[in-house]
Amino acid sequence: MTQVDRSRLESLIRALPKTDLHVHLDGSLRLATLIEMARRQGVALPSFTEAGLRETVFKERYRNLPEYLEGFAYTCAVLQDAESLERTAFELAEDCIGEGTVYLEVRFAPQLHVGPKLPLAETVRAVARGLRRAEAARNVHPDVVSGRVPRFKAGVIVCALRFFNEHFGAEYARILDVHRHAPREELFGLASLEVARAAAQLREEGEPVVGFDLAGQEKGYPASQHRKAYQAAHEGFLGKTVHAGEDYGAESILQAIGDCHADRIGHGVWLFDTTKIGPGVRDKQAYVNRLSEYVADRRITIEVCLTSNQQTVPELAGDLSKHPFGEMRRRRLSTTFCTDNRLVSDTTCTKEILRAADAFDLAPHEIRDLLIYGFKRSFYPGTYLEKRDYVRSIIDYADRTLEAAGFGPDPKRRRG
């Protein structure tokens, strides 16, 4: 690809309507905001300059996953009040709007932010307020009102954790203290059930809670321990997504689907890797093939996070083309590009898609189709008919954008 072609493609990607269905609030603060909040709240940072934090914490490359996660100790520390949560959600939405990401699902673990003056439900309401403020500011623009450009929409996905200890936060310490004699795995499930019930209730109250997620270490902490939580989310008509296949293999992905009713899978990096499958599976390749066929046929969407995967998976560090997205693409799985953590990975949706285009030689019309998957597989905060109308407006806008950029109709698409 020539420099001129790449510049043209980058401009097109920025102009096309995009989604971000897998983005963590506490991994996506503005660096300047983190510094300002830390100063105001008396939170110690390794540096109080952006350059210093880029050098010491939020790096271009990380040695391993634990180093990648170190930054969350600082971001979570400044997000312990409603004002900070609301502001961070608002600024994240603003940043997304600025690069043409017009649909956003922000996920966070409310129990990491609960305190004596901040109950669980209020953490969610604070994030929702920030997103609604961003929606209101964007959607009064004359071009939006006239229908020339798409409306901005956003929802909240609440996360539970597969594992926690007393150092994860005051709420987790309280749970462990109250239930001192209970097995830890029971408490992990109990905590996630509480979050799922709160999410379903908040949705009933009109908050834009659209989904439920499970994050954290997979190995040794199976999704089956959170079956009751996902059943509560299922009965509350919430979308279900699960971090799976991120640091464990295909069996974890099947657990997410079978035990948790997963509509989408976060990451799915090891979906095709037979070496990550346990000894209980005799024909590992057949297992991978059947699972990937099931995922493809049921249109269970994989939330692909290229940059963060490359930063945390040593096997991908030197060559992004080794990422399993290439095999997902070959097998025609439903996929969507996501940022995961905009601050920690120093990325945007535009950067993620451009990196995919470079590594996998994606043509403009294929990029358009991949972006549309994101809208179709979203947990849209509205009725089905409203979602259909919204997606139709997105498709029309994407096609107009392609044509204006000189790409015209897709010659491979069947007509009439």
**Catalytic option among 135, 207, 246, 352:** 246
Report which secondary-structure segment, H or E, holds 260: helix 250-260
pLDDT of amino acid 318: 86
Q: Using the structure block, give the residue that is written with the tokens 């990422």.
A: 323
Residue with tokens 């963590």: 24
| Residue 236 β-bridge partners | none
| Mean pLDDT calculated for residue range 404-411 | 78
Domain ranges of the chain: 3-29+79-404
Residue 410 confidence (pLDDT) above 90: no
Smallest CA-to-CA distance from 344 within 38, 61, 52 is with 61
pLDDT over 60 (residue 265): yes
User: What does the pLDDT read at residue 66?
Assistant: 84
Q: Is 246 a catalytic residue?
A: yes
368: left (phi over 0), alpha (psi -120 to 50) or beta: alpha
Give me the CATH topology for the region 3-29+79-404. TIM Barrel (3.20.20)
DSSP assignment letter at 111:
G
Q: Residue 415 pLDDT more than 70?
A: no
pTM > 0.85: yes or no: yes
pLDDT at 279: 92
Residue among 163, 108, 165, 159 nearest 131 (CA): 108
Tell whether the model's pLDDT for residue 2 goes beyond 70.
no
Mean pLDDT calculated for residue range 272-278: 94
Position 408 pLDDT exceeds 80:
no
Bridge partner list, 301: 264
Mean pLDDT across 267-292 = 96
- Contact residues for 136 (Cβ-Cβ < 8 A; gap 6+): none
Query: pLDDT grade, residue 416 (50/70/90)?
Result: very low
